[in-house]
Amino acid sequence: DQQVKQNSPSLSVQEGRISILNCDYTNSMFDYFLWYKKYPAEGPTFLISISSIKDKNEDGRFTVFLNKSAKHLSLHIVPSQPGDSAVYFCAASADFGNEKLTFGTGTRLTIIP
Amino acid sequence: NAGVMQNPRHLVRRRGQEARLRCSPMKGHSHVYWYRQLPEEGLKFMVYLQKENIIDESGMPKERFSAEFPKEGPSILRIQQVVRGDSAAYFCASSPSAGLNQPQHFGDGTRLSIL
């Protein structure tokens, strides 16, 4: 039962353009959502998060949008840079006091110079 | 380096041996989470510990796997009598507290290979 889904295994974007990564979830109890970036042979690096009381959070080139009615969130990266090439994981947590994360399967983003 | 430290980075074991994976959380963090990543998959939650307490082990296999986070020293994930299917990357994450929606910070993982 995949409660967090990233339906695009890979995405290629031209340098300087916008990258949009999507994530869908099924568990309506999720109330905190995060995006992590992962390079090969390294651990996931936290990028940005959003609480369910918000619908948008911005940090520099990264913006996360949350649509609770659609159970959908997206990560926008603009402008995209070659160093953004990595695997991006969407994650969610549900329980106050126990923030165990449920991860999607990841989207491999490739930025084309 | 003030990040989450995991060792060893790579561990090779033969079937039937024991594997011990260590995790030192970030300074000031008292909550530790272990996750496992199989090839081409996302990370799967295994266990959540606070100092000297297991809070949630719902993701741990029922047999051969155990975890601890003693008052002093790193958190340990122990796998007894390893089998080929235990080959994976094991990641540890830490956070300073619970209930405040604070992101978890991850170590670089231990890659376990079973011969």
- Given A41, A42, A99, which is nearest B104 (Cβ)? A99
Q: How far apart are CA A64 and CA A29, in angstroms?
A: 19
Whether the per-residue pLDDT at B4 is higher than 90: the answer is yes
Mean pLDDT of B58-86: 95
What letters, b where the CB count within 10 A reaches 16 and e where it falls short, cover A3-33?
ebbbeeeeeebeeeeebbbbbbbeeeebbbb
The answer to whether residues B99 and B55 touch, using CB atoms and an 8 Å cutoff, is: no
pLDDT classification of B40: cutoffs 50, 70, 90: confident
Nearest residue of B to residue A93, measured between CA atoms = B101
* Confidence category of residue B14, pLDDT binned at 50, 70, 90: very high
Most confident of A2-6, B4-8, B98-102: B4-8
Look at residues A105, A106, A77, A93 and name the one whose alpha carbon lies nearest to residue B93. A93
Cβ of A36 within 8 Å of Cβ of B42? The answer is no
Helices of type H across chain A: none
The yes-or-no verdict on residue B98 having pLDDT over 80 is no
Q: Under DSSP, is residue A85 helix (H, G, I), strand (E, B) or coil?
A: coil
Residues of chain A neighbouring B106 (CB-CB closer than 8 A): 36, 43-46
Where do we find the tokens 């992962």?
Answer: A38
- Torsion sign over Cα A79, A59, A62, B106: positive
- What is the C-alpha separation between B92 and B5, in angstroms, rounded? 8
Q: Across A1-113, where does the E strand assignment appear?
A: 4-5, 10-14, 19-25, 32-38, 45-51, 56-59, 62-67, 72-77, 86-93, 102-103, 107-112
Mean pLDDT throughout B42-67? 94
Q: Give the pLDDT confidence score for residue B103 in this predicted structure.
A: 87
**Chain B partners within 8 Å of A42 (Cβ):** 108-109
Mind listing the pLDDT tens digit for each residue in A32-89? 999 999 999 899 999 999 999 999 999 999 999 999 999 999 999 999 999 999 999 9
A40 reaches B (C-beta below 8 A):
no
Q: Which residues of B touch A89 (CB under 8 A)?
A: 42-43
